[in-house]
Chains A and B, each alone.
Chain A
Amino acid sequence: MRDLLSYLTQRFFWMLLTLWVVYTFSFILMRSVPGNPFSSERNVPPAIERQLEARYNLDAPPLTQYIDYLVGIVTRFDLGWCIRLEDYSVNQVLAEGLPVSASLAIFAMVFAIILGVSTGVVSAVYRGTYADIGMRTAAVLGIAIPNFVLAGLAILLFVFGIKIFPAGGWGTLRQVALPALCLGAPIAAYIARLTRTGMLEVLTKDHVRTAFAKGLPKRTVIMKHVLPGAMLPVVSYLGPATARVLTGSLVLEQIFALPGLGSHFIHAALQRDYTLATGMVLTYTVILFVMNTLVDISYSIIDPRVKLQ
């Protein structure tokens, strides 16, 4: 238990450091690209531009801006008001978008794990059969085809072909199904490959041979002795997979008109929405850090050889 606590403290410290670095970089980068949040076709008089800048503290010297904003974040968790989406504060944007992105990610991940692990197991157990070859080909395709192409195909097939899913929008299970499938498919493919490789490796281990020799049924050996060992690479992949699901959703959110966080990412950058962009980057940093930490901890629990450091 003490290991765990000191590990968590350490990770927390690193996260803060990373966040600070990320904040600094995004602050500098955002302000060094040409254009500003108030650029528009219609030029505004200087008196009005001054007022706009004052509203977002952009009239202060850069160092003051840097410190004021940082202090706001640290002391009040206040990421400020969005500059372009001006009816909303960054916190409100996150509060509305995060649950949507999260539920999309959950569906995608659960789908990916279930499909990936089961095909991986089948593939490894029936190695060399047509089923194996078919699944492996599917997995290669799944990894290679970008999810927006997959989304296009899925729409053709499930929206216009057999009309079972709606073309877009958010609010019902049927609306979330298609984007979750498209988002999860490449992950599922990758997990299938990892599972298959892991299974094959464990299948040759001594303890598995012993289990078979003891006369245990095949099913028990696979479930109890092979699968846990084969799962280790899959678990360690879950960290990067979460990252992929979160970033991969940018495109799918657009295609399926989903109100998640992804599209804000692009818009904030393109429209020079300094506050929203910073808020997004920091949020994603935190999410990825937390996910990776969780993966590391669970890894140490299921694999007796790993120690938290």
Chain B
Amino acid sequence: MPPQVRRAFLIVAAVMVVIAVAWASFFETLPPADFSLQSGTDPKTLDPHRATGNIESRLIFAMFNGLLQMLPEGEPDPESGLQPMTAQPAMAKSYDVSDSGRTYTFHLRDDIFWTDGSPVTSHDFAWSWQRMLHPGTACEYTFQLHGVPFAKEYSESTVKVGDKVEVELWDRPDDTDDKASLQNFPRGTMRYGILREIEKPDKPPLSDDASDKQIKNAEADWQETWVYHIDVAAENADGSIDWDGQTKSQTFVANLESAAKKTDTQRCHAVMIAFGKLGGLETPDYKTFVVHLKDAIPYFPNLVAYYPTFPVNKNCVEEHGSPLWTKAENIVTNGPYKLQERRLRDRLRLLKNEDYFGVNEKGYDTIDFLSMEGQNTAINMYETDQISWVTDPPAALLGELIKRDDFVSAPQLSIYYYQINIQREPLDDVRVRRAIAMAIDRKQIVEQVMKTGQLPAFTLVPPGIAGYESAKGPIFDVEAAQKLLVEAGFPGGRGIPKITLLYNTTETHRAIAEVIQQQLQNNLNVKIELQNMEWGSYLDKRKQKDYEIARAGWIADYPDPNTFLDMWITDGPQNDTNWSNQEFDRLLQDAGSEGDPAKRMKMLQAAEQIFIDEMPVIPIYFYTSLNMIKNDVEGFFPTAQDLHPIQLLQPKEGVK
């Protein structure tokens, strides 16, 4: 290279560096928000029907509003300091319950609007609930509305001959011959009718060494070749279906390559129960929303105050499609705050929605939900006044932080437990399970490991649910535990093979597991081997039931014992323990249709007693909620579900 080139190169390089630095120094800075909080990792989604988890729920509660909302009512509990929360009017100004408890009529307010200016109507709710239940939306909380007739069948996409069904033809805007449109709304052309016959072609053979996944896929592929014979009924002008009128017999199939296909068979996405046309949800007028239930659900008001049942704006979703409608420039919401800007891994900037009917004049105008991964980062930023609310204080500092007056902690409706695979020897013997449970000193765990006021758990349902008294579980009693082991044929722990304890990798889980390992070794001479895995692998192992004892936890979906109990019914989707008890199943089912709240609670208690006697899970402790909030913030109080309505937060009078 000639020297001129070299010199030119040096100059070019220097200029480039200067430009790079200049570019890097240019920031699009937002003015600081009135209130900032630690949001945690980035929310997975802002779609109320797709979201799961605490971080998402906090945001959705701020941005959307349901028929009802959880708000404080009454005085705080003097002992625990918990502020009672009840479902109170939100989009609905009032509601009536029929005497049977099976019909709820919600009367919507007149002054409620979406952020695009259009009014919120009963049709928004009917449409949103159908979207939430539609399998294409893939909501993980559909079970919350399973009390509505045909909702379960709809969300699981199951039909049987004789059902009144809906058929969605293969003509969604983006459907192509080889690929279905991923947008389930707006829907394709709909046909309604009565299912007369399902013609199933022969099942294609599978090789013997097919994996579970291949079997599952093959089953689903096969179902797509089923040909449905349907007597199609006419749709009236008002949208209702003339089920008893004249019908026309037609056939439909999802996969046109089906062997059973006729020449005039039409292609469809799916044949599902005609949920929207069967009267489960009614909209007699724009401001009245009627919900029919199969059985009385005493906690139904709590369900409609929970975010999966919140409405989303039909126009917005259909125009932009999912998930693009959740972008800050597109999203239309109806809650106390609205989204101004979303920066990935940085923040969500929320603005007070002045059009919200219950707008808090004194509330903060702008709120930053700051994404941050590190617990220490949050506490650093809190200490330097960059944020005012820490939602997840660092575990290592809890012992120090708990002494401060800006540390808010209270019992929470959630439990930490060990679940047992009851098909593994020797854990198939209930006496061994109980012996292990009785030999664990929970007090040592909560006082020496956790250190933040957690309660030792001997039952499944946490205290603090109105009207419910928990069953009696076996307490810490080493002698009785040893006796049980003798009865089970393992005197002094002899003959018990090493038991593996599976947990997902975190410091706390490890510390607890080690203490329990030590306790069982000392008290029962039972040897435990610890096995830790990162979250994904751990879940996989649990789901495959490839474990002996596994750590787990559960947070109440709604403040009712049912949320802790109904996951353990036979073949329940969360029940990875192999445990099954018909009496338990029956009690839960009966409780579901019991009209008298007191009787119902008694039945649930009886069910819990069976559960705890059989001990497919060992309760360890009940969580406490841990928050840090600056003293100049008003409207923050500890609650059993760790809910803190953001519209209630405001600066304290006279404090700058």
Contacts and interface: CB of A to CB of B under 8 A. Distances in A.
Contacts of A42: 52, 140, 573-574
A22 B405 CA distance: 53
B17 A39 contact: no
B345 interface: yes
- Chain A interface bracket (under 10, 10 to 19, 20 to 34, 35 or more): 35 or more
A106 B20 CA distance: 7
B345 A260 contact: yes
Contact of A257 (B139, B156, B374): B374
Contacts of A153: none
B537 A85 contact: no
A253 B31 CA distance: 22
Interface string B125-145: 000000000011011101000
A98 B415 CA distance: 40
A88 B374 CA distance: 22
B376 interface: yes
B20 A40 contact: no
A34 B540 contact: yes
A36 B536 CA distance: 7
Interface residues of B, number: 70
Given A44-B140, A254-B377, A267-B41, A298 B21 contact: no
B457 to A, nearest CB: 18
A43 interface: yes
Interface in B540-567: 540-541, 543, 552, 554
Interface stretch (A126-134, A161-169, A279-287): A161-169
Contact of B344 (A93, A167, A176): A93
A274 to B, nearest CB: 12
Interface string A234-262: 00000000000000000001111111100
A160 interface: yes
A87 B46 contact: yes
Contacts of B23: 103, 106
Contacts, number: 185
B176 interface: no
B344 A86 contact: no
Given A173-B27, A298-B9, A96 B536 contact: no
B253 interface: no
A167 B27 contact: no
A193 interface: no
Given A87-B46, A173-B27, A301-B6, A255 B345 contact: no
Interface stretch (A45-53, A194-202, A208-216, A217-225): A45-53
B217 to A, nearest CB: 6
A168 B138 CA distance: 36
B371 interface: yes
A238 to B, nearest CB: 11
Interface of A: 33-36, 39-48, 50-52, 54-55, 59, 81, 84-88, 92-93, 96-97, 102-104, 106-107, 110, 155, 159-160, 163, 166-173, 176, 253-260, 263-264, 267, 270-272, 298, 300-302, 304
Interface of B: 1, 5-6, 9-10, 13, 17, 20-21, 23-25, 27-30, 41-42, 44-47, 50, 52, 135-136, 138-140, 142, 155-158, 180, 182, 216-217, 220, 323, 326-327, 343-346, 370-374, 376-377, 380-381, 383-384, 386, 534-537, 539-541, 543, 552, 554, 573-574
